A and B are shown apart, each in its own frame.
Chain A
Amino acid sequence: MTRDQLKDYIGSKYASLMTPLDTGRFDPMFEVKADRLFEVSRALRDDENLKLDFLCNMHATDTRENFEIVYSIASITTKLRLDFKIVMPYQNAEIDSVQEVWPAANWYEREMWELFGINVKNHGNLKRFLLPDDWNQGHPMRKDWDAPDFVRMPEIQ
């Protein structure tokens, strides 16, 4: 299956779940509603033609209005790749864990919870991971984060 065929395939089969985005990126990109995340993940993994069984990467971005969480997935057997993202409001951000689908998500989700303060439902092991054990200064990857000894880069003229 080529990239364009993959786009068409997803467009016809998962039209109600995934909206294609035109990002100009190499891998096709889709948007998924936060409450359908688990459903979509399981469908993509179990789809006989796709077999997207490998979570390459997963990251969150703070756009100052929303959080965007991007999942990059691939398949070992069919060699397909695609990305999909979830856009969620800043307040009370919360996603479902996809650990059951891709166990590799465990640490990514823990990191996201720790650095962005995005709550992960059904994770089961949300513990401090990268920051010092006695950290109490909030979520440092948020754009509006601040701390007493945090120095912002001055504007360069």
Chain B
Amino acid sequence: MGLIKKLPYYSEKIPGGAIVLTSLEATLQFAQAKSLWYLLFGTACCAIELMCTGASRYDFDRLGMIFRASPRQSDLILAAGTITKKMAPRLRRLYDQMAEPRYVIAMGGCTVKGGPFYYDSYAVEKGIDHIVPVDIYIPGCPPRPESLMEGCLHLSEKIRRQKLSDWQEK
């Protein structure tokens, strides 16, 4: 009953057990928020911090975050690292290959607004929100694993609060 206790539910006792009614929306969102598989998209130094978060000390897996090497199996792109103008179309393409519902976390100053390459750079894209819609921005250069995990928890919160009808609009 652990799962059921966290959902809005109605339970009717019948002889030999009970019937539980709950809403599809709540169930789906609960499941989704707890198992965000992310597409590894580490393009620069932020990826090192992402790896650290995935390793045993911070243990990303306990949040249900498991990295995938294919966009078709992922719910989320964790864009960790500088996105250059040459890389931008590839990022967009990977995003397009993901199944709905899909989310994007911009990790690090580079993906938020160009970071240390904002000035005097001809090659770096000034923020990946020019390319894909971003759900969570995590500033920092690089953000600490704690910030990354907090960002992911915020994303879970966001998923919990959305409506089924939102899926269609994105």
Residue positions of A touching B, CB distance < 8 A? 130-132, 137, 140, 145, 147, 149-154
A118 to B: closest C-beta gap in Å: 17
> Is B122 a contact partner of A147 (Cβ separation < 8 A)?
yes
- A152 to B122, Cβ gap below 8 A? no
Q: Which 9 A-B pairs have the closest CB atoms?
A: A140-B122, A153-B119, A132-B86, A153-B120, A132-B85, A151-B119, A150-B122, A151-B118, A152-B120
Q: Which chain B residues lie closer than 8 Å to A132 at the CB level?
A: 85-86, 89
B114's nearest neighbour on chain A, judged by CB, is A151
Cβ of B88 to closest chain A Cβ, rounded Å: 8
Bound state CA distance, A140 and B120, in angstroms? Answer: 10
| Contact present for B126 and A149 (CB under 8 Å) | yes
B residues apposed to A, CB below 8 Å = 85-86, 89, 118-123, 126
Residues in B whose Cβ lies below 8 Å from that of A145: 122
Chain B contacts for A147, CB-based, 8 A: 122
- Which residue of A is nearest B85, CB measured? A132
Name the prevailing secondary structure of the A interface residues: loop
Residues of A within 8 A of B89 (CB): 132
A152–B85 Cα distance when bound, in Å, is 18
Residue from the list B86, B119, B123, B126 in contact with A152, Cβ < 8 A: B119
A154–B126 Cα distance when bound, in Å, is: 17
Interfacial chain B residues near A154, Cβ < 8 Å: 119
Q: Which residues of A contact B86 (CB under 8 A)?
A: 130-132
Name the residue on B nearest A132 (C-beta): B86
Closest to A138 in B: B122
7 A-B residue pairs with CB within 8 Å: A132-B85, A147-B122, A151-B119, A151-B120, A152-B119, A153-B120, A154-B119
B119 to nearest A CB, angstroms? 4
Closest-by-CB residue of A relative to B89 is A132
- Say how far B82's CB is from chain A's closest CB, in angstroms: 15
The residue on A at minimum CB distance from B88 is A132
